[in-house]
Each structure stands twice: as C-alpha cells, then as structure tokens.
C-alpha cells in the first residue's frame, strides 16, 4: 500500500485548480488571452535581463574599487 496515494496527481498540475485560478483572474481583471501571453512573456524576459543588469553593475563596481 502506498503511504499517501492522494498526494500526487497524474497530471503535472491540477487542471481543475488551474481553471479556477484562470477564471478568478479573468473575472477580476477582465484581460484577454493576448494580454496574458504578453504579460507572461514580459516576465520571462525580464528575469534574465534583470539578473544581467545586476551582474554588470556589480562587475563595474568591483572594477572601480580595485583601481
């Protein structure tokens, strides 16, 4: 017998929960699917760009301190 048979869902995520979350966001914000795609894409691009900016600023600051 498995210790927690209900702890895992056969899908990667719970489709009922995702549908409920999408419905709540749609009813609160009223955004269409294109806006969601654009917003998700912006977040996906902004995270690595932000990391690179912090890296470059830190690198420039450490170069100035060594001189």
Q: What is the pLDDT of residue 22?
A: 83
DSSP conformational letter for 30: -
Q: Check residues 47 and 32 and name the one with the higher pLDDT.
A: 47
Cβ neighbors of 5 (< 8 A, separation 6 or more) are: none
Per-residue pLDDT, averaged over 36-53, amounts to 94
In the chain, helix, strand, coil percent, each to 5? 75, 0, 25
Q: What is the pLDDT of residue 30?
A: 84
Per-residue pLDDT, averaged over 47-63, amounts to 93
């Amino acid at each position: 017998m498995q210790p927690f048979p209900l702890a895992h869902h056969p899908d990667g995520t719970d489709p009922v929960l995702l549908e409920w979350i999408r419905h709540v966001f749609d009813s609160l914000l009223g955004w269409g699917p294109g806006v969601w795609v654009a917003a998700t894409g912006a977040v996906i691009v902004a995270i690595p760009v932000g990391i690179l900016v912090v890296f470059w600023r830190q690198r420039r600051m450490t170069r100035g301190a060594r001189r």
